Amino acid sequence: MKRLKTAGLFLFTAIAFTACKNTEFKTSPNGLKYKIIGSNGKDSSKDGTVLKMQMTVRVSGHKDTVLADTYGKLPFYTGIRPFPPGQPIYDPAEVFKYLKKGDSLIAIVYIDSAIKKGMLPETQMPPYFKKGDRITSTYKVLEIFSSDSLARADYQAEIEKVQKNEEVALEKSGEKAKQTAVVENYLKTKNISAVKTPLGAFVKVENPGSGAPVADKKFVTVKYTGKKVLNDSTFEGPNSFTTQIGVGGAIRGFEDGLRQFKQGGKGVVYIPGFLAYGKTPPPGSPFKEYEPLYFEIEIANVSDSMPAPQISVPPPPAKKGNKK
């Protein structure tokens, strides 16, 4: 992965250097400077299609800062949609509709222009932006999907690939065993008997359930309370939600734990950090990198389709008796 990332940055540097020396940049109707390096690809983007791309975004000027680099990580997916008439835009997305499979795009956004166009209020600029800077973005189109469903399936496959690569790296470094040991030591200290799942989570089964089994493609409604292993503090719940198993709707360890139950089942799922939110917890979440978690769960429903939302309808007002 490290080699791929370095290759991505090298590619960015090479393309950006060429771009700065190249006089063939075009200007979009909204003032964006861009250059498309064609590949003679046949598949073209259009409204309704989804682009899968590698991307590097860098700020240059008072100091150089890499804002994004997808090489060796999850590719960037974006849908092609028409912009509403009159909507101001000063963004590479304006020219995505011109791309074909295999094309590369270099797009330059000038901070001064973004401020002038009202797209970036000067008083709200992050510290890594200064007047006079420019944001250079490079893209490489890997695939163009004709529908959102095809793109979502590919996105899920890419997530699984990234997770597998990350897990292999953790295993080689010994970090996977360390994270598993944290949960095992917790269970031993608390004298909790739990069974290890195929992926490496641990499940305490209080009641296995007697209804339909939790399995891939099934829609499962689960009641839960989420807690942290290291201090037993509650971070969410009690709560409930419905998810489809096997499509990435929940963290891997949680789903693998649910698979050990049937409808009506109840228990606790203990999850090592690599099967929870991993190295990159959601922004603003209360989780640290590779933080182990556990969930007290109850399987409320298992079905083949998304259950209809339950709407609470108040009873009609009681009729008043006739006055005498």
Q: Please name the residue that has the structure tokens 């222009």.
A: 113
Alpha-carbon gap, residue 77 to 63, rounded angstroms = 28
Quote the crossing angle between the two packed helices 148-173 and 175-189, to the nearest 10°.
80
Q: What is the pLDDT of residue 42?
A: 65
CB 299, CB 262: distance < 8 Å: yes
CB 299, CB 266: distance < 8 Å: yes
Model confidence, pTM: 0.58
Alpha-carbon gap, residue 141 to 135, rounded angstroms = 19
Q: What is the pLDDT of residue 48?
A: 86
Alpha-carbon gap, residue 278 to 1, rounded angstroms = 16
> What residue spans in the chain does CATH classification 3.10.50.40 cover?
2-153, 174-303
CATH topology of domain 2-153: Chitinase A; domain 3 (3.10.50)
Beta bridge mates, 4: none
Q: What is the pLDDT of residue 314?
A: 56
Q: Which amino acid is at 137?
A: S
Q: What is the pLDDT of residue 280?
A: 75
Q: What is the pLDDT of residue 143?
A: 94
CB 262, CB 249: distance < 8 Å: no
Beta-carbon contacts of 116 under 8 Å, excluding residues fewer than 6 positions away, are none
State which CATH number among 2.130.10.10, 3.30.70.3280, 1.10.3470.10, 3.10.50.40 fits the domain covering 174-303. 3.10.50.40
Burial track 279-309 (b if 16+ CB lie within 10 A, e otherwise): eebeeeeebeebbbbbbbbbbbbbeeeeeee
Q: What is the pLDDT of residue 282?
A: 75
Written as tens digits, the pLDDT of the chain (324 aa) is 233 333 343 333 344 444 444 458 999 989 999 999 986 666 677 888 999 999 999 998 877 888 888 887 889 999 998 887 777 788 999 999 999 999 999 999 999 999 998 888 888 888 888 899 999 999 999 999 999 889 988 988 888 888 788 888 888 999 899 999 999 999 999 999 999 999 999 999 999 999 999 998 899 999 999 999 999 999 998 999 898 888 777 888 999 999 999 999 999 999 999 999 888 787 678 888 899 999 999 999 999 887 765 554 555 665 555 544
